[in-house]
């Protein structure tokens, strides 16, 4: 039986990797993947708690998160493509139209 803490540590590590990728990488696709990674690390911890507490609530929440993440990825990538058609770049630091 794997203890709960391992799952939590795994979740925390994945989340941190996601945060790091979000902050450090310049490729917009990778940034997107990092966001997905963060969402899924949360899913891991939710499922672990769900199992530990013998409650289905956490798993139910996970389904919602997966649905929302899918929709978000679809819209995000659509925006990305539309943007790319006008400005042929996907580097985050070159996308600064709102710079003050």
Shorter beta-carbon distance to another protein: residue 56 or 98? 98
Apex CA 22: angle with CA 46 and CA 18, to 5°? 30
For residue 46, give the nearest of 32, 60, 29 by alpha carbon: 60
Long-range Cβ contacts of 65-72 (<8 Å, 24+ apart): 65/39, 69/36, 69/39, 69/40, 72/35
Told to check if 98 binds another protein by CB under 8 A, we report yes
Cα–Cα dist 35/49, whole Å: 22
Cβ of residue 28: shortest distance to another protein, in angstroms? Answer: 8
Cβ of residue 2: shortest distance to another protein, in angstroms? Answer: 26
Told to check if 83 binds another protein by CB under 8 A, we report no
From residue 4 to residue 43, the character string flagging contacts with another protein as x (rule: CB under 8 A) and all else as - is ---------------x--xxx------x------------
Give residues in contact with another protein (CB under 8 A).
19, 22-24, 31, 92-93, 95-100
């Amino acid at each position: 039986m794997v203890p709960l803490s391992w799952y939590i540590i795994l979740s925390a590590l994945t989340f941190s990797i996601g945060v790091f990728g979000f902050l450090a990488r310049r490729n917009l696709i990778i940034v997107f993947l990092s966001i997905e990674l963060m969402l899924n690390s949360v899913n891991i911890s939710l499922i672990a708690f769900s199992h530990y507490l013998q409650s289905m609530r956490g798993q139910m929440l996970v389904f919602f998160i997966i649905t929302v993440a899918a929709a978000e990825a679809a819209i995000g990538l659509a925006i990305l493509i539309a943007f790319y058609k006008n400005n042929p770049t996907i580097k985050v630091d070159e996308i600064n139209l709102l710079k003050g």
